[in-house]
Chain A
Amino acid sequence: MPPAIHPVDLLRVLRHQRLTPAIVFLTSRRACDEAIASFEHRQIPIPPTRSAAITQVLEKMITEYPSIADHPLIPTVQHYGVAAHHAGHLPSWKVAVEELMRQGCLDAVFATTTLAAGVDFPARTVVITQSSVRKDRDITELTVNEIQQLAGRGGRRGKDFVGFVVVTPSPYIDLGPIANGLTNHPEPIDSQFVVSYPMVLNLLKAHTIDHIQPILEKSFAQFQLNQRADAYETKLDDVERQLEAYGQRECADWITQWQSFTLAKKHRSHHRLKTRHDPPEVSARLAFLTPGRVVELSKDHAIVLRQYRSRGQGYAMLTVVRSRGRIVEYPANAVTAVIDEVVDVAEARKFPWCTPHSLDHAIETLEHFPTRLRRLPIRVDQDGTTILTETLSDEFPCPTCPSRPACQKDHPQALKLRQEDHRLTKTIHALRTELWHRFQQHVEVLQKFGYLTPACQLTPDGDWARLIRINHSLLITELIRMGAFEGINASLLAGVLASIAHDDDRPASFLGRHPALASTLGQVRKIAHSLSAYEEPPLLRWDIAAIADRWIAESTLPWSELIRSTTMAEGDIYRLLARTLEYLSQLHGLRATHPGLADVARDAMDLIRRDVLQELP
């Protein structure tokens, strides 16, 4: 059995059942073109009156869009009443096919699923041959929404009593997702909010930084984040109610109190076992010499990063950070005093035994310590048992407390609840402030590059950079500031912008290399690479740049000649040049501050807009 029905047989069945006109969704542009081509070999022409009607519509379209006139598919359309419609075609051709379809001239249009998105294009029947699509070099299953967009084109209001979906198998099909997509309710949609540099600049142009958060809160993104946060709040309320049920105890924060108390107890007994050889004054201190603890080392302060035992003798050792960021190892008995001060240090498994951020923080804290700090009173008993005077009785009233039995019983469960409480509080906070954080991260980058002042106002550079509202805006504004476009000509500028704008890695080839272009692109690539921490670099394909460059440099070059010089589909070239126009128009928008560049951009735009690129706005 063939892996899929032959297009001609498909159409025969559709005609026989009166299911035409139909849109046949195929997996690739190539499949569409081959389907059309196959009609040439199997002669089943439509009646001459219908051919005449098609010719009439086409003639009318050609007066409006002359580029249609030479389209190689025209004879097939006229003879067989079928057409292909996909992104490889020029927009004018697609408009013509849509018009033919609206006029009821065609029996079938072979299209890729991109057609589903928002083109006004109904038919009696929709033929589906696939349940997955290729998206960004990956195969993804069609969603319910996508299947309903496809199927929705079946059945025209006012022209059909009933519409049809015909499912016919191909190697890309699985019936489950299709049946599901046809019968299920559509999926809910989610916000896809992203913060971009132009967004930050434009918001800060019109508002001061303290007005930004309320604006971000108006987004659908925040609305949905808040809904999630609200759900967590409900959970949190519940946890807090459970915690309240434990009632009043002697101390306000009995959970922490009890936990420290049990920990201290554990530490002490643990201590006594493991540190039998330590002299009493050392073992008394060890419990306190934990990461973050501030200590005095011969009149200087230091912060403990880790405690360990020396390999040979098993002496208690410390790694500390001292003034000027020196990281040093000492035996614990070098500590002259333990300070009543603990710095937040996130531990790590490797040197310097804490996260880089914590280390910076520790060093910074050290610098700012006053010379005299409160020492922890640690008394050493003769038998080696440590007792904390003052602090012990201050901190741990537990041994004699009337709540003690209740605390002991409730602690495990209460601690779990409290941890849950903290976790939820943190999550809720993160959800509520996520967008704001993302915004701030962008602000920091823009400050670093000098588009924003430390007070978050636009610098003179920021004031024009905000007008570049396209992808890769940071690269483009940096190129402008570095003077990369100084003295550039129109075609080279268009070439560079085309290669920045083009984000498709479908292979194409273009004959002839162009040294000026190659060297400029090399420079751009270096800069793009240096910015890669802040902005995803574009593909910067030189073959793409060369196409745009040639179209502008050779102002009499006919379109047909341009498309012959590359393997790229003409629809793709058209889109490339249209996007280049968009990018150029953004540079043209800088005429107040960069008149020279704006002029070159204007020239390039005028040169692009000829031939087929003039047919549609």
Chain B
Amino acid sequence: MTHDALATQLADLPVRLLHHLAKNRVPRHFRMGKNRLIQSLLALSPAQQAEVATALASLLQEPARPPKPEKSAKPKRQPDAPSRQSPPHQRHSAPAEPAISTKILFEGIGVPPPRPFKPDDWQQEAIDRLATNDVILSAPTGSGKTYVAVEAMRRAIETEQTVIYTSPLKALSNTKLTEFSQIFGADQVGILTGDRRDNPQAPILVMTTEILRNLLYDAASGEIDMRLDTLGLIILDESQFLADPERGVVWEETIIFAPAQSRLLLLSASIGNPDEVETWISSIRSTSCHLIHHRNRSVPLRAAYLDPSGKLAPFFRARDIAHGKGFAFHPETKRLFANYEDQTLGPRYRR
């Protein structure tokens, strides 16, 4: 392939594939933008350029991943999982509905009038279920899982039980310490870190999951300086960390060794298989685990595309984002992005 032919081909690639080609060939390629990437690839030795050309050819041959930005990127995971089909956005021959306008996209922005707080059904159900079951609650970000945690805590301390609340991050533990102290009073909430114990006799203890895991190991070998027998409730926030490559094992250990008399409440952002986690926990604990899977966002979400020129367009043809139904880009977004790709690459390489 000639230098120029390669240049044209590279210019057509999305940045992701350029990074792919640059890997192990261009130092610090991840710092570069599209132009710099192409420049660096073209500045390689002829032998390396030949390699790039070969790699490029094989990339282009992969039928499932044509190098057009809108069509690439399918999740890499199991093909058997639901709704992994490629989105139908390419079939815009007979769109069911006309694409929305920018005006409609931005309609209805504003602040709702204050309303008395009323828990959602799924929140109430989670709280009630905890009386008899372990509960795993999977709900989108920002939907109100904390409310469930707080009410569950309230019930536990009313019956003289203690509560442990864990989060994956110290920063989050601190936020929650403040939040719970405001609700229950500072004397009711303590925090444990590796080297510090503030108010460790309080009925509600906040800590990272690692600290709880260590407590459980100490308890198992009979040398605990904390009373775990009154521990009525363990709340594991951000439980999707179960899948963290380095720390996930800590969540497993904690769930396996959680005292039989304590209820477990797992709060998790949306994950694909909460039912699997539910079945697992049910299979190893004396009380069965109940899944509450709340899929819908409490506040509807819309998407817009903002061109570097400052021009806004709807991102999708439809206004509200729905899940599992594929997507279709708004024609204006398509046009603007194609233009962006051309322009950011054009002048130097399309002489």
Do these two chains interact?
A: yes
Using a CB–CB cutoff of 8 Å, the interface residues on chain A facing chain B are 1-5, 9-10, 12-13, 17-19, 91, 94-95, 98, 117-120, 122, 124, 127, 131-132, 134, 137-139, 141, 143-145, 148-149, 151-177, 179-180, 182-194, 196, 199, 202, 205-207, 215, 218-221, 223-224, 227, 466, 469, 578, 581-582, 584-586, 588, 605, 609, 616-617
**Which B residues are CB-close (under 8 A) to A117?**
168-169, 238
Interface membership of chain B positions 304-321, coded 1 if the CB is closer than 8 angstroms to chain A and 0 otherwise: 111111101001100001
CB closest chain-A residue, reference B20 = A139
**Which A residues are CB-close (under 8 A) to B60?**
none
Q: Would you call B304 and A166 a contact (CB within 8 A)? A: yes
CB closest chain-B residue, reference A151 = B301
Q: Would you call A155 and B256 a contact (CB within 8 A)? A: no
Offer 26 A-B interface pairs, CB within 8 angstroms, sorted by A.
A1-B339, A5-B306, A12-B310, A13-B312, A17-B109, A117-B169, A119-B175, A132-B15, A148-B269, A155-B300, A162-B301, A165-B302, A167-B305, A169-B337, A171-B15, A175-B70, A191-B243, A191-B248, A199-B253, A202-B217, A218-B284, A224-B276, A466-B217, A466-B221, A581-B195, A616-B174
A23 to chain B, nearest CB (A): 12
A20 to chain B, nearest CB (A): 10
A155 CB contact (under 8 Å) in B15, B82, B279, B297 = B297
**Which A residues are CB-close (under 8 A) to B272?**
145, 185-189
Q: Would you call A157 and B144 a contact (CB within 8 A)? A: yes
A3 CB contact (under 8 Å) in B33, B77, B142, B177 = B33
Q: Which of chain B's residues 84-100 have a Cβ closer than 8 Å to chain A?
A: 84, 87, 89
Given contacts A4-B308, A148-B269, contact A584 B195 (CB under 8 A): yes
B143 CB contact (under 8 Å) in A98, A144, A157, A581 = A157
Q: Would you call B73 and A141 a contact (CB within 8 A)? A: yes
Q: Would you call B312 and A185 a contact (CB within 8 A)? A: no
Given contacts A120-B172, A183-B327, contact A585 B30 (CB under 8 A): no
Q: Would you call B269 and A3 a contact (CB within 8 A)? A: no
Given contacts A152-B297, A166-B303, A168-B306, contact A586 B194 (CB under 8 A): yes
Q: Which of chain B's residues 181-226 have a Cβ closer than 8 Å to chain A?
A: 191, 193-196, 198, 210, 213-214, 217, 220-222
**Which A residues are CB-close (under 8 A) to B124?**
none
Q: Would you call B240 and A187 a contact (CB within 8 A)? A: no
B32 at the interface (CB under 8 A from A): yes
Q: Which of chain B's residues 319-342 have a Cβ closer than 8 Å to chain A?
A: 321-327, 329, 333, 337, 339-340
CB closest chain-B residue, reference A177 = B73
B296 at the interface (CB under 8 A from A): no
Q: Would you call B142 and A152 a contact (CB within 8 A)? A: yes
Interface membership of chain B positions 27-39, coded 1 if the CB is closer than 8 angstroms to chain A and 0 otherwise: 0011011110100
Interface size on B, residues (CB 8 A): 120
B343 at the interface (CB under 8 A from A): yes
CB closest chain-A residue, reference B76 = A141
What 7 A-B pairs are tightest by C-beta distance, nearest first? A152-B141, A171-B33, A155-B299, A188-B273, A188-B272, A189-B243, A192-B248
**Which A residues are CB-close (under 8 A) to B307?**
5, 168-169
Given contacts A156-B142, A161-B110, A189-B243, contact A171 B35 (CB under 8 A): yes
Given contacts A119-B171, A157-B143, A582-B194, contact A219 B252 (CB under 8 A): yes
Interface membership of chain B positions 151-185, coded 1 if the CB is closer than 8 angstroms to chain A and 0 otherwise: 00000000000000001111111110100000000
**Which B residues are CB-close (under 8 A) to A168?**
305-308
**Which A residues are CB-close (under 8 A) to B14?**
174, 176
Could you tell me the distance between the alpha carbons of A151 and B142 in the complex, rounded to whole angstroms?
A: 10
CB closest chain-A residue, reference B74 = A180
Q: Would you call B169 and A187 a contact (CB within 8 A)? A: no
Q: Would you call A91 and B171 a contact (CB within 8 A)? A: yes
Given contacts A139-B16, A581-B195, contact A188 B276 (CB under 8 A): yes
Could you tell me the distance between the alpha carbons of A162 and B111 in the complex, rounded to whole angstroms?
A: 9
Q: Would you call B191 and A220 a contact (CB within 8 A)? A: no
**Which A residues are CB-close (under 8 A) to B343?**
1
B245 CB contact (under 8 Å) in A192, A578, A584, A616 = A192
Could you tell me the distance between the alpha carbons of A116 and B326 in the complex, rounded to whole angstroms?
A: 24
**Which A residues are CB-close (under 8 A) to B47?**
none
